[in-house]
Amino acid sequence: MEITFRPPTQNDLDGMLHVEQSCFEPEERMDENEFIQVLKHVSETTIIAADDDHVAGMLIGRTTSNQLLDNDAYHLDLDSKPGDKYLAILGLAVYPDYQGHGIATQLLDQIEKLAKQRGLSGVTLDCREHLIPFYEKHGFELLGRSNSNFGGIEWFGMQKNI
């Protein structure tokens, strides 16, 4: 298994949907139209972990000026703006067959490099409570409860300054 990291293409749409359906509960999932918007608006801040032509994992990112995300961060106006300070992770997922091989860690490393290249202040994300230790292990600090209730779920905001 040789994993490569690259921006997504239209050819990745089915694989991205498959990873999303395999890793997230129905209320957390993005639908096909949302993925089409990702490909259209934030492909330069989204990273695919690929095993040949298969999507093994993905990190969906976008720039934002907000330290804590809200529901709109996931749907509205995904384009970068002058003054955006953070690279927000909207989703990080690794297909179950590929979990346990450090791919999520590598995706986080890749997005941090991208944020540095863009001159951003840090990386921010929302996660469920059980994932807080994973992100803390990777240098993220808990900011508290998120402003988002996407999918009717309680989310926690985390940030890593770079």
* Per-residue pLDDT reduced to its tens digit, 49-79: 999 889 999 999 988 888 877 666 666 566 6
Structural domains in the chain, CATH included, are 3-161 (3.40.630.30)
Position 24 scores a pLDDT of 85
C-alpha–C-alpha distance, residues 14 and 104, integer Å: 20
Helix (H) or strand (E) segment spanning residue 63 = strand 54-64
Q: How much is the average pLDDT of 68-95?
A: 78
Could you report the per-residue pLDDT of 115-138, keeping only the tens digit for each?
Answer: 999 999 999 999 999 999 999 999
Q: pLDDT class for 31, splitting at 50, 70, 90?
A: confident
- Residue for token digits 């976008």? 62
Q: pLDDT class for 84, splitting at 50, 70, 90?
A: confident
Position 51 scores a pLDDT of 95
Position 71 scores a pLDDT of 67
Return the structure tokens found at 55: 């999507």
Count Cβ atoms below 10 Å from residue 21 Cβ, excluding itself. Answer: 12
- Residue for token digits 């993220």? 140
